[in-house]
Chains A and B, each alone.
Chain A
């Protein structure tokens, strides 16, 4: 029971790692992840590529349309489509 309390599975570690990228992992989850990272090469590798992806996205400053903006664009497009048929 105690072991389960401290040690998490690889899948759980990956899940926490994902949450860490969005700042949504709790302090305790981060402790559990750190422990796993000390000895699991799969978690370590996943964590490394996950952080690399986050860094790339931050560096690129990628933007996208907000839901309401996309809806507005879709509406305008449909009007144009109808007018051009």
Chain B
């Protein structure tokens, strides 16, 4: 009997934010990220019969998404590859030597390690968010990640402001606890 079952009806609700966060850190464009997620879900629907249930649905979807992201970059590079990259940095002879100063590494620039660590931290936050009750996770995401104001969230979810703060408090307590165990 498989360890994990597949239920596509919950994919958007359960995994779209996680997949989006995963994608946006890699493609840096909201539209492209959404298209890639859409393509991932479609590919998932088409290959559902191949799901063995050994990995979780999320892991399985991520493995499809990874291939979609690679395909996306392949497509871009095959177009870009037609245009030769030129390094005519500066033709002005008067500014000899400036190039060295201007090309020196920026100490405030993010290193690949920082980016990787931040991306893993983001995954850890989403892992903890998935353990919260649905409403708590929704309110927390809207308030903290999407930055919606209190009034908008209250209208959207039909709750009062004091309800919202109670939910936020519970979500933050549970998340801080989870992050303490898994990350900090």
In the complex the two chains form, what is the Cα distance from A20 to B173 in whole Å? 15
Task: State the majority secondary structure of interface residues on B.
Answer: helix
Q: Is the CB of B168 within 8 A of A18?
A: yes
Q: Tell me which of A15, A56, A73, A76 contacts B165 (CB under 8 A).
A: A15
Q: Is the CB of A77 within 8 A of B12?
A: yes
Q: Is the CB of A81 within 8 A of B184?
A: no
Q: Is the CB of B38 within 8 A of A22?
A: no
A residues 31-85 touching B (CB-CB < 8 Å): 46, 49-50, 52-53, 56-57, 59-67, 69-70, 72-74, 76-77, 80-81, 84
B residues 167-184 touching A (CB-CB < 8 Å): 168-169, 172-173, 175-176, 179-180, 183-184
Beyond A64-B20, A69-B30, A80-B41, whether A57 also contacts B144 by CB under 8 A is yes
Q: Is the CB of B184 within 8 A of A18?
A: no
Q: Is the CB of A60 within 8 A of B42?
A: no
Q: Is the CB of B34 within 8 A of A67?
A: no
Q: How many residues of A contact B (CB 8 A)?
A: 33
Beyond A50-B172, A67-B156, A80-B42, whether A62 also contacts B126 by CB under 8 A is yes
List the interface of chain B (C-beta within 8 A of A): 8-9, 11-12, 16-17, 20-21, 24-25, 30, 34, 37-38, 41-42, 45-46, 118-119, 121-122, 124-126, 141-146, 150, 156, 165, 168-169, 172-173, 175-176, 179-180, 183-184
List the interface of chain A (C-beta within 8 A of B): 14-15, 18-19, 21-22, 24, 46, 49-50, 52-53, 56-57, 59-67, 69-70, 72-74, 76-77, 80-81, 84
Please, could you name 28 A-B residue pairs with CB atoms under 8 Å apart, sorted by A?
Answer: A15-B165, A15-B169, A22-B144, A46-B173, A49-B180, A53-B172, A56-B183, A57-B145, A59-B118, A59-B121, A60-B121, A61-B25, A62-B122, A62-B125, A63-B145, A64-B17, A64-B145, A65-B16, A65-B34, A67-B142, A70-B17, A73-B16, A73-B34, A76-B38, A77-B11, A81-B8, A81-B45, A84-B42
